[in-house]
C-alpha cells in the first residue's frame, strides 16, 4: 500500500497486473483480468462470451442476486433450475429438463464449500450445444478433476468482497479464462472498450474505443492488499477446513439441526481424487426452526448470516418471468432452513465451543417445548 501511495498511481498502476499474474499462477488460468467487483466480472464475462438479447442463460434458482442480475445486465434472460440439496448447486437432471430452444448458456454457481457437479453439467451442455460459464465468485481454491473453479468452460469469476475467502478492503473481482479472445474482450470492456498493449499492462495504448465498454477497473490499492493476502491464502484455507471439522464434530448429534455440510470432493465415485478440493468459504447448517435459532443466537451476541432468504425466481426484479411459489421446491427449502455460522480464520476453538453450546441450549429448549406442547 505504501508503494501505491508513493507512486501516486491509484489507477493504471502496476499492482493490478502483478495480482493478475499471481492469480494466474495460483489458479492455472491462462488469463486473469482484474475488475472492480465479482458482479461486474460476471457481466463482462457474459458479454465477452457473446450473450445476445433474448438468449436464455440457465442459472440455479438459489444463489446470490448477482448471478441472475448479471445475466439481465448482459442482455440475456435467466432460466432458473432447481438445486441439489447436497451441493446447493444446480441439479444436473433439473438442468436437462429446463433447457429450451432459447437456451444458449449455462452458468452453474459454486456455493459455500463445494462445487457444482461439473462433469454432469458439462455433459448436459455438450448435448444441447450450451456454452458453460461459471459463477465461481465464492470458489477460490476449489478444484474438480484437477481444474480450478471457473476454468471448466469458457470462463469464470472471482469476488474479493471483504467477507470472501480472499477479501479486499472493499470491492474487487476478477475474470478467469483460458480463451485469449474472451480475455481480450473483457480487458477492453473493463476500460471503456479500449484495447491495450498487453492484457496486464495499464494504461491502454489506444484512445479509440472498439466496444461500448464500462469503467470496471480494479483499484491499485485493492490489488496491493490482495497480492499481500494471497501469500496467506493456503494457510487460511487450511484453517477454514479445521474450523469446519470443529463445527461438524461439535454439532454432529445436536437436536433440531437437519443438515450439516457434506464433504463432496474426493468421494470414491469422483474421478479426480487428490485433484479435487472443497474450500470452506461459509459453514452452512439447516434447521426447520431457522428464524428462531437466529433470534436465539442473536440474544447471546452471536451473529449469523442467512444465505439466501429469497430464491432468485421470487425476487421482485424477476417478477415479469412469472414464477410461482412451489416451482423450485429444493431452492425454497434451502431458503427457509439454511443459516451460516460465524466463520473466519481467526476464530479459536473456544469461539466454536461458545457458538455450539448456544445452539445446543436452543436445541434443548426446542425439545422442552415439544414435550410440553
Ligand atoms: C459475492 C458473490 C457475487 C458478487 O460478487 P461481488 O464482488 O460482491 O460483486 C456473485 N455471485 C456469488 C455466488 C457471490 O457469492
Structural domains counted in the chain: 2
Same domain, 287 and 146: no
Mutation probe of ligand 1 site: the residue of 68, 110, 116, 137 with most atoms within 8 A of C-beta:
137
pLDDT at 199: 47
Question: What is the DSSP secondary structure assignment for residue 89, as one 8-state letter?
Answer: S
Q: What residue spans of the chain are helical by DSSP H? A: 2-7, 15-27, 38-48, 65-73, 92-98, 118-128, 180-189, 220-230, 233-251, 290-299, 329-337, 349-372
Q: Work out which ligand 1 atom sits closest to the CA atom of 164.
A: 1
Beta bridge partners of 83: 90
pLDDT at 264: 83
pLDDT of 224-240, one tens digit each? 999 999 999 999 999 99
CATH number of the domain encompassing residue 333: 3.90.1150.10
| C-beta of 138 in contact with ligand 1 (< 6 A) | yes
Same domain, 66 and 140: yes
Of 230, 265, 283, the position where a domain reaches its end is 230
Helix axes 233-251, 349-372, angle to 10 degrees: 30
Q: Work out which ligand 1 atom sits closest to the CA atom of 160.
A: 7
Domain hosting 326: range is 233-372
Give the 3-state secondary structure of residue 239: helix
pLDDT at 273: 44
CATH number of the domain encompassing residue 213: 3.40.640.10
> Cis link prior to 115 (omega < 30° from 0)?
no
Same domain, 264 and 358: yes
Same domain, 193 and 303: no
pLDDT at 286: 96
Same domain, 123 and 154: yes
Mutation probe of ligand 1 site: the residue of 42, 61, 138, 343 with most atoms within 8 A of C-beta:
138
Provide the residue-wise pLDDT of the chain in tens; the chain has 373 residues: 999 999 999 998 899 999 999 999 999 999 999 999 999 999 999 999 999 999 999 999 999 999 999 999 999 999 999 999 999 999 999 999 999 999 999 999 999 999 999 999 999 999 999 999 999 999 999 999 899 999 999 999 999 999 999 999 999 999 999 999 999 999 999 999 987 654 455 545 567 888 899 999 999 999 999 999 999 999 999 999 999 999 999 999 888 888 999 888 765 444 444 589 999 999 999 999 999 999 999 999 999 999 999 999 999 999 999 999 999 999 999 999 999 999 999 999 999 999 999 999 998 777 766 544 3
pLDDT at 257: 86
Of 184, 210, 230, the position where a domain reaches its end is 230
| C-beta of 37 in contact with ligand 1 (< 6 A) | yes
pLDDT at 152: 98
| C-beta of 343 in contact with ligand 1 (< 6 A) | no
- Distance from the alpha carbon of residue 270 to the mean position of ligand 1, in angstroms: 27
- Distance from the alpha carbon of residue 165 to the mean position of ligand 1, in angstroms: 12
Q: Phi and psi dihedrals of 121, rounded to 5?
A: -65, -45
Of 230, 255, 283, the position where a domain reaches its end is 230
* Model-wide pTM > 0.85: yes
pLDDT at 357: 95
pLDDT at 206: 66
Which contacts of 70-74 are long-range, i.e. CB under 8 A and separated by 24 or more positions? Answer: 70/39, 70/42, 70/43, 70/46, 70/135, 71/46, 71/107, 72/317, 72/318, 73/43, 74/42, 74/43, 74/46, 74/47
pLDDT at 268: 46
Q: Which three cell numbers stand for residue 302?
A: 452471536
Same domain, 202 and 249: no
| C-beta of 38 in contact with ligand 1 (< 6 A) | yes
Radius of gyration of the chain (CA): 21
Amino acid at each position: 500500500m505504501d508503494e501505491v501511495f508513493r507512486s501516486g498511481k491509484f489507477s493504471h498502476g502496476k499492482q493490478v497486473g502483478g495480482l493478475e499474474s499471481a492469480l494466474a499462477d495460483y489458479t492455472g488460468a491462462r488469463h486473469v483480468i482484474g475488475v472492480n467487483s465479482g458482479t461486474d466480472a460476471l457481466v463482462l464475462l457474459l458479454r465477452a462470451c457473446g450473450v445476445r438479447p433474448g438468449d436464455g442463460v440457465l442459472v440455479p434458482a438459489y444463489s446470490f442476486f448477482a448471478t441472475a442480475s448479471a445475466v439481465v445486465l448482459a442482455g440475456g434472460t435467466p432460466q432458473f433450475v432447481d438445486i441439489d440439496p447436497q451441493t446447493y448447486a444446480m441439479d444436473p437432471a433439473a438442468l436437462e429438463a429446463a433447457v429450451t430452444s432459447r437456451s444458449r448458456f449455462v452458468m452453474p454457481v459454486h456455493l459455500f464449500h463445494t462445487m457444482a457437479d461439473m462433469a454432469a453439467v458439462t455433459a448436459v451442455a455438450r448435448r444441447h450445444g450450451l456454452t458453460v460459464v461459471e459463477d465461481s465468485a465464492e470458489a477460490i481454491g476449489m478444484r474438480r478433476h484437477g481444474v480450478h473453479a471457473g476454468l471448466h468452460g469458457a470462463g469464470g469469476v472471482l469476488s474479493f468482497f471483504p467477507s470472501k475467502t480472499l477479501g479486499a478492503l472493499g470491492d474487487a473481482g476478477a475474470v478467469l479464462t483460458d480463451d485469449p479472445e474472451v480475455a481480450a474482450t473483457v480487458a477492453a470492456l473493463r476500460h471503456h472498450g479500449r484495447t491495450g498493449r498487453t492484457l496486464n499492462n495499464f494504461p491502454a495504448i489506444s484512445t479509440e474505443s472498439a466496444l461500448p465498454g464500462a469503467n470496471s477497473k480494479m483499484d491499485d490499492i485493492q490489488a496491493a492488499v490482495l497480492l499481500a493476502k494471497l501469500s496467506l491464502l493456503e494457510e487460511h484455507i487450511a484453517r477454514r477446513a479445521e474450523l469446519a471439522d470443529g463445527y461438524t464434530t461439535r454439532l454432529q448429534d445436536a437436536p433440531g439441526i437437519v443438515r450439516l455440510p457434506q464433504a463432496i470432493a474426493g468421494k470414491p465415485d469422483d474421478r479426480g481424487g487428490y485433484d479435487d478440493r472443497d474450500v470452506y468459504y461459509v459453514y452452512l447448517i439447516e434447521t426447520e426452526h431457522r428464524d428462531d435459532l437466529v433470534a436465539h443466537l442473536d440474544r447471546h451476541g452471536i451473529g449469523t448470516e442467512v444465505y439466501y432468504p429469497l430464491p432468485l425466481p421470487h425476487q421482485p426484479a424477476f417478477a415479469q418471468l412469472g414464477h410461482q411459489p412451489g416451482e423450485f421446491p429444493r431452492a425454497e427449502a434451502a431458503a427457509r432452513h439454511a443459516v451460516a455460522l460465524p466463520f473466519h480464520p481467526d476464530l479459536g476453538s473456544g469461539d466454536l465451543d461458545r457458538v455450539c453450546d448456544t445452539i445446543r441450549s436452543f436445541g434443548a429448549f426446542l425439545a422442552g417445548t415439544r414435550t410440553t406442547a
